[in-house]
Structure 1
Amino acid sequence: MKRRSLPDPDSRTQVLRARRKYTEQVLLTVVFTFVQLWAIVAVVVLLEARGVLAVAVAVVLSASLIALWDTWRTLLMFGRALRSWLPDELPAVDAEPPRRPSNLVRL
């Protein structure tokens, strides 16, 4: 899985891009959840399986629920990190980012 880095809070474009990408991910996850739940209900209602096929269907359905859970967990963790990292207000377009103190020693 690709590791996502947090944007620079002093960069307006990076803040806007991070917020837009997070919103897109939430919308895609909601659509994925509805489709996945619909498919699970359809399989449970329409499939008349017995024996080995019933066990195989149970394993596949449990794996799909685990995938849903993992997707939402990852999305919520990234959302919390994004909200705690980014400022509430966007930085100004022409504003120069504040200088951070350096630990470097000049000789």
Structure 2
Amino acid sequence: MERPDGPWDPGLQVERTTLAWLRTALAFVVGLLVLLRLLAHESVIAAAVCGALTLPLGLAISWLVWHRHLRGERRLHAEIPLPGGALPAAVAVLAVLAGSSGLIYVLFS
């Protein structure tokens, strides 16, 4: 069996990781849209505030995913360390904000 020229397998690891992060971001955005729809029935102002805090972050995470994919491809071929942890940190912040929005919904209903 022939060994790859670089530190990576010639498979699609970077692409699979990118797709997994995109699925995560999409799941958060769709879940937030449903939650905001439910929250709007209780308080339009609370829904607007939660939407203003969470939806731009969900879209920013999608941009971060694509940017991380491009940097990861370049870094793999240049044999330098892969990108840092900004994306997992942003997803953690989004999870906390989504949970807070859910808590607001529970308190209002």
What TM-score comes out, normalization by structure 1 length? 0.47
Larger radius of gyration: 1
